[in-house]
Chains A and B, each alone.
Chain A
């Protein structure tokens, strides 16, 4: 029996769902009410799973909580988990990404708005500010997408702690090969559609990047118009958008074990932020983007206007892999068979910002 935890971060709180068959789900009450939950992590590296939650209240500000009892109780340290240093003159708006490192047992990374990167060595109770990226000479020219000026993607290399990639809208992808001491813009081949120079060094509105589980140098990128793959750890990118119905979207997710497998939820365009053909379809590639297959069984195929945001899709680590997505209109769908069949887990939730799922027992 596989015990799976699904965490759903919404605009007004967190919902946890448990299932032993990934078919029947038991949903918790909403926790962190009136807090937008932009990021969740389920850290299963230790003997006890740890949940990490980024909660942001419009009134009372941001915080990062953790739970070592699967959400029964939450810890908010007296010393804030994440703050900007005094000399930055900047205050944390919210945390957009929490990512446990597979190569360093207690290390957790976080990306924030404004564009801060933070590193924890105590599984996310406290984080240190990564000064080097903040001091990057490009930073004054990084912009704010509609969602905010944030590092929304943090991808530590699964085996090499020296290597890490981050992404932001707008700013693009940046890589470090020296554990975050120095950073390089890594957007070669990724276009912008909102400036005269279509291929600048940086400034791209990257929506999401996901790393291949087998070939860690391979990454998949959903851009603001454009879907790309890199085979050289982000140094160069090539389009894999042609087989998809559109090149716009937010989410990009890779399989937990199988190489070349990625999932995407296409949206018509920036000016038509609804799914093509007004159908709810997840697209999956099993050949690294050479072809994409629509996955529709169990998903609404008519008069569907809902979309998935950048962290609104995920996989679990079960076998076969589960795939999950939550929508702006508060629906959550799950597939227990790698996307072949889908069932609704929840509806009428607040707008879904992020989902994460993992086997916890």
Chain B
């Protein structure tokens, strides 16, 4: 299972952990699996239409998924998926 690394802002709704092991061979499948276990956490990352939220970035093994297939980007069993908020707000 891939290792999903959460920013501090999301750790509270993930049970206080910094990382989660999640199955799925694409970002979309991985987020589906995440939603099954942690529905509120998954909603922070993507909207109800399955789109990544505008100011949330996902990196699979260092690559921004927006530049490598989006939610169809491949995830390997040993991948590290970083969830990182982008700069936004004032």
Q: Which of A54-62, A196-204, A229-237, A319-327 contacts B (4 or more CB under 8 A)?
A: A54-62
User: Which residues of A (223-267) have their CB < 8 Å from a CB of B?
Assistant: none
Chain B hits for A57, CB < 8 A:
44
Q: How many residues of A contact B (CB 8 A)?
A: 18
CB pair B89 A34 closer than 8 Å: yes
- Determine how close the nearest CB of chain A comes to the CB of B61; give it in whole angstroms: 23
Interface string of A47-65 (1 = CB under 8 A from B): 0000000000111110100
Chain A residue nearest in CB terms to B45 = A60
> Does B18 lie at the interface of the complex (its beta carbon under 8 Å from any beta carbon of A)?
no
For the complex, give the distance between the alpha carbons of A359 and B43 in Å.
34
Chain B hits for A86, CB < 8 A:
48-49
Chain B hits for A268, CB < 8 A:
none
For the complex, give the distance between the alpha carbons of A91 and B9 in Å.
22
Known: A76-B40, A80-B43. A60 touches B49 (CB 8 A): no
CB pair B48 A60 closer than 8 Å: no
For the complex, give the distance between the alpha carbons of A91 and B51 in Å.
9
For the complex, give the distance between the alpha carbons of A236 and B41 in Å.
47
Known: A59-B85, A78-B39, A79-B39. A90 touches B49 (CB 8 A): yes
Chain A residue nearest in CB terms to B13 = A76
> Does A183 lie at the interface of the complex (its beta carbon under 8 Å from any beta carbon of B)?
no
CB pair A59 B56 closer than 8 Å: yes
Known: A34-B89, A76-B40, A78-B39. A60 touches B51 (CB 8 A): no
> Does A92 lie at the interface of the complex (its beta carbon under 8 Å from any beta carbon of B)?
yes
> Does A137 lie at the interface of the complex (its beta carbon under 8 Å from any beta carbon of B)?
no
Chain B hits for A34, CB < 8 A:
89
- Determine how close the nearest CB of chain B comes to the CB of A73; give it in whole angstroms: 13
Indicate the size class of the contact surface on chain B. Answer: 10 to 19
> Does B53 lie at the interface of the complex (its beta carbon under 8 Å from any beta carbon of A)?
yes
For the complex, give the distance between the alpha carbons of A58 and B9 in Å.
13
- Determine how close the nearest CB of chain B comes to the CB of A247; give it in whole angstroms: 31
CB pair A84 B48 closer than 8 Å: yes
Known: A78-B39, A78-B40, A80-B43. A61 touches B49 (CB 8 A): no
- Determine how close the nearest CB of chain A comes to the CB of B62; give it in whole angstroms: 21
For the complex, give the distance between the alpha carbons of A63 and B9 in Å.
15
Most buried by A among B9, B44, B49, B88: B49
CB pair A61 B89 closer than 8 Å: no
User: Which residues of B (73-90) have their CB < 8 Å from a CB of A?
Assistant: 85-86, 88-89
Chain A hits for B10, CB < 8 A:
60
> Does B72 lie at the interface of the complex (its beta carbon under 8 Å from any beta carbon of A)?
no
Q: Which one of B9, B39, B43, B86 contacts A61 once the chains associate, using CB atoms below 8 Å?
A: B43
For the complex, give the distance between the alpha carbons of A86 and B48 in Å.
7
Enumerate 25 A-B pairs (CB-CB under 8 Å) in ascending A order.
A34-B89, A58-B88, A59-B9, A59-B44, A59-B53, A59-B55, A59-B56, A59-B86, A59-B88, A59-B89, A60-B9, A60-B10, A60-B44, A60-B56, A60-B85, A63-B43, A80-B39, A80-B43, A83-B48, A84-B48, A86-B48, A89-B49, A91-B48, A91-B49, A92-B47
Q: Give B residues with C-beta under 8 Å from A.
A: 9-10, 39-40, 43-45, 47-49, 51, 53, 55-56, 85-86, 88-89
Q: Give A residues with C-beta under 8 Å from B.
A: 34, 57-61, 63, 76, 78-80, 83-84, 86, 89-92
